[in-house]
């Protein structure tokens, strides 16, 4: 007996594939018309980095992106000077100008030191990004980071007026800095994901380098929170040994009777 379970007439129809719209992160930059709108000034750049980061990423690929990069760097310098003023308000006097200057210098130096390795690592990862685009993404990272630091400024100011502990203030500023850097790096990674890189290993390595250089810069330019007779330190140290000594000193002070 020949039993054929499949009816011999029309084969079952395959349901038509409904087009699935890709998630915004996977869309090609510039597909959304809003992303193609130019960014004429610093205020729009600030708004865009918070709400439409893809608009900045797209504009960085367009000719004449230098103006946008300049706006972002200007915003970065203004924001870091504002936050530096709050950092300096802990010790007052000379630190009111020294802390903003040191923080701004430190941030720009860190970026300059790390920029070549960023470009090399991204190229090694197969990225098609030009140097100008990477400079732009790095500027975006710095702008977002310093904007968030300005957001933290009222909290930092309140604490700087109500404690005498340098260690406490150091920990607090580091905490704010890490949160700000986290969001800044997220912007950089999002921008990097559109550069056709084969892997993110190079960028991840660079992130470690960037964080280490930035932290060491705070030790190289110390004191930023406390006071000193000289503008720059006379003794060279690594940040781990500097932090260790400060923690030890703070522990000793807390044990000693008032």
Partner 1 sequence: MTSLATNGISLGVLLRGDLDSLTTWLSHWNGRRLAFCLAVIFIGAGCYGAAMGMWRAPLQALYVAIKFPLIILLTSLANALLNAMLAPLLGLNIGLRQSFLAILISFTIASAILGAFSPLLAFLVWNAPPLSATAQASATYSFIQLLQVVIIAFAGITANVRLIQLLRRFSTGRAAASRVLFAWLAGNLFFGSQLTWILRPFIGSPGLAVEFLRKDALHGNFYETVFRSILYLLTRK
Write out the residues near partner 1 by the rule CB under 8 A: 50-51, 147-148, 150-152, 154-155, 158-159, 161-165, 168, 183, 186, 254
121 vs 177 by CB, closer to partner 1 = 177
Residue 163: count other Cβ atoms within 10 Å of its Cβ.
Answer: 13
35 vs 202 by CB, closer to partner 1 = 35
181 vs 217 by CB, closer to partner 1 = 181
Are residues 221 and 102 in contact, defined by beta-carbon separation less than 8 angstroms? yes
Chain mean position to CA 37: 24
Nearest approach, Cβ of residue 256 and partner 1 (Å)? 13
88 vs 202 by CB, closer to partner 1 = 88
d(CA 107, CA 99): 12
98 vs 180 by CB, closer to partner 1 = 180
d(CA 58, CA 121): 21
Report the interhelical angle of 42-51 vs 131-160 (nearest 10°): 90
27 vs 165 by CB, closer to partner 1 = 165
Residue 195: count other Cβ atoms within 10 Å of its Cβ.
Answer: 20
Question: Alpha helices of the chain — where are they, by DSSP H?
Answer: 42-51, 53-60, 66-88, 95-124, 131-160, 166-192, 201-220, 239-255
Torsion sign over Cα 220, 90, 84, 150: positive
127 vs 146 by CB, closer to partner 1 = 146
13-34 as b/e, with b when 16 or more CB fall inside 10 Å?
eeeeeeeeeeeeeeeebbeeee
Query: What residue has token string 């390795």?
Result: 117
Nearest approach, Cβ of residue 255 and partner 1 (Å)? 9
């Amino acid at each position: 007996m020949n039993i054929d379970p499949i009816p011999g007439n029309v084969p079952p129809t395959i349901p038509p594939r409904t087009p699935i719209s890709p998630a915004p992160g996977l869309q090609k930059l510039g597909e959304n018309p809003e992303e193609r709108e130019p960014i004429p000034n610093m205020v729009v750049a600030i708004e865009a980095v918070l709400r439409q980061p893809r608009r900045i990423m797209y504009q960085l690929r367009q000719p004449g992106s230098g103006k946008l990069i300049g706006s972002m760097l200007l915003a970065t310098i203004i924001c870091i000077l504002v936050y530096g003023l709050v950092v300096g308000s802990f010790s007052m006097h000379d630190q009111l100008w020294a802390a903003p200057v040191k923080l701004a210098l430190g941030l720009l130096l860190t970026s300059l030191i790390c920029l070549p390795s960023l470009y090399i690592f991204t190229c090694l990862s197969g990225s098609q990004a030009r140097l100008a685009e990477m400079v732009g993404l790095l500027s975006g990272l710095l702008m977002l980071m310093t904007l968030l630091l300005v957001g933290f400024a009222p909290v930092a100011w309140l604490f700087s007026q109500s404690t005498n502990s340098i260690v406490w203030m150091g920990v607090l500023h580091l905490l704010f800095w890490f949160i700000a850097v986290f969001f800044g790096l997220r912007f950089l990674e999002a921008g990097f994901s559109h550069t056709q890189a084969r892997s993110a290993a190079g960028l991840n390595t660079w992130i470690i380098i960037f964080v280490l250089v930035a932290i060491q810069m705070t030790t190289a330019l110390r004191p930023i929170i406390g006071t000193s007779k000289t503008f720059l330190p006379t003794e060279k140290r690594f940040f781990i040994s500097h932090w260790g000594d400060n923690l030890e000193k703070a522990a000793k002070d807390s044990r000693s009777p008032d």
